[in-house]
Amino acid sequence: MKKSGYRTVLHIYLLFFLSLFGTILAVACLSFLLITVQQPDGSMKRSDWPKTFTEDFREQILFIDNAPQIKQAGIALLHDNHIGLQILDSSGKDVYHYQKPQQAMDAYSTADLLHLYQTGQAKDRPVTAFVGTVSNEEKDYAYILYFPVKILKVTMYLNGERFTGGKTIVLFVLGVLFLVAMISGVLYGLWTTKAMKQLTTSIRDLSSRSYLPVHDHSAFRDLYDSLNALDAEIRASDQLQTQTEKMREEWIANITHDLKTPLSPIKGYAELLLEDISNNETQCKRYAGILLKNAAYMETLIDDLKLTYQLENGMLPMKEKEQNIVRFLRELVIDLLNTPDYENRIIHFESNAERIDLTFDQTLFTRAFRNLVINSFVHGRADTEVTLRVSGSGETVRIDLADNGNGMTAEETAHLFDRYYRGTSTEKKPEGSGLGLAIAKSIIERHGGTISGSSIPGVGTSFQILFPGVKVN
């Protein structure tokens, strides 16, 4: 708003100064054109030059035996400036001429000379002439100079009373200017009021989510650009909120179902143990195993919820120390393969060095990489194999994890790390809370790393994890 206010003020003053500058420039150009003439050689001189030249030229006229003649310097001036000359006696008859133009007459009456003197124009003849006088032995001669430029003689007479009373004219002009300024101010105020009303309406529409983008080029352009950008952000935020709420609702429904799933066998087998009076030891052990398995599953779900909350709110303490990431991941693979659920699985481990040091929290890294590997096994086929590759170069540690499982569609890949997304295969694979990959991503990012995933249906899924800013030996 502040910037638009400055723009409005600048807009007003810019119009004023442009108008003033244009007026001054026009007056200056007109004045220059009016008070200058161009000589035959292209040079510019003041428009009173012909008059001054005519008055000074009498010095170039001399009389020999009472006959008028022109000095050699005068002949040169006439020749260089392409000026014609006629010298008339007291009766107006031509007694001497030089470069006399065709439009000139051989004799002039007193009225013709008076008209020529006053206007510089001969009657019915397109010629510019200035008249001068010279005397010799009490005889008067007139000389006419014909110039190759068009000059108008203007004589101005001032009325003393009106000139003295010019105050009235000045006040009238000032009054007109004030009236124009006042009318302009009112019109600009009406325009500004209309523009502010439109802005108010746009803001109201924005709050009610009915705003339509406005492309304005007036002084309020910045405000409308900001409103358009805000509208785009609000629409994107509303869309994201809708998607998030939808995923949250689906996740709550799924997690509720997942929590009820282990509760049913726990409750059922507990009732069997309570009612079983035979106390069959083998049967009791089998029931106890089922109870423990479902209780562990419930514990995993609760742990995921707790860890997600802690990571999201930055409440999880970090116990980082520099360790050999190659050895850590190799031991993690061995521990997974020693687990009864994954003892028949295959994990390929590769590294371009035996030791790559990285600072990390061992407990959190264990959780993150176990989630990534187990996710491949849980959502893959029985013969799915996982390849874990560690490499270090320059100042980056890179960890690649790939499987040859079922792969995912582009839609599933786009939501791979969303907290409440469990994919479209939930009914086939009900295990998990839908938080495993989101937890892994949060842990890796808490350690300054990045993770990205790609997948091809029927080919497999791969993850790329990078830890920049690490000096690799």
Contact by Cβ (8 Å): 234, 203: no
pLDDT at 426: 44
The average pLDDT across 371-379 equals: 89
Q: Domain 48-147, what architecture? A: 2-Layer Sandwich (3.30)
Task: State the Cα angle at 308 between 303 and 309, rounded to 5°.
Answer: 100
pLDDT of 330 strictly over 50: yes
Q: At residue 448, does pLDDT exceed 80?
A: yes
- In the chain, the percentage of residues whose pLDDT exceeds 90 is 15
Lowest mean pLDDT among 164-173, 227-236, 382-391: 164-173
CATH of domain 221-309: 1.10.287.130
Q: Tokens 């000589």 map to which residue?
A: 39
State the pTM of this model. 0.44
Given this model, what pLDDT does residue 152 score?
64
Tell me if 424 sits within 8 A of 412, measured CB to CB: yes
CA angle 15, 19, 21 (to 5 degrees): 115
- 70-116 pLDDT per residue, tens: 888 888 888 888 888 888 888 888 888 888 888 788 888 888 788 77
Q: How many CA atoms lie within 13 A of 138 on its CB side?
A: 0
Position 428 confidence tier, pLDDT thresholds 50, 70, 90: very low
Would you state the structure tokens that stand for residue 95, as one six-digit string? 């007694």
What are the domain boundaries of the chain? 1-38, 48-147, 221-309, 318-468
Lowest mean pLDDT among 43-52, 358-367, 370-379: 43-52
- Superfamily holding 318-468: Histidine kinase-like ATPase, C-terminal domain (3.30.565.10)
419 burial class (0-12, 13-18, 19+ CB within 10 angstroms)?
Answer: buried
Classified as helix, coil or strand, 49 is helix
Question: What's the length of the chain?
Answer: 473
List all residues 6 or more positions away from 9 whose beta carbon is below 8 Å from its beta carbon: none
Which has the higher per-residue pLDDT, 413 or 400? 400
pLDDT of residue 269: 67
Q: Which amino acid, 124?
A: D
Average pLDDT over residues 195-223: 78
* 3-class SS of residue 423: coil
Q: Which residue has the higher pLDDT, 31 or 440?
A: 440
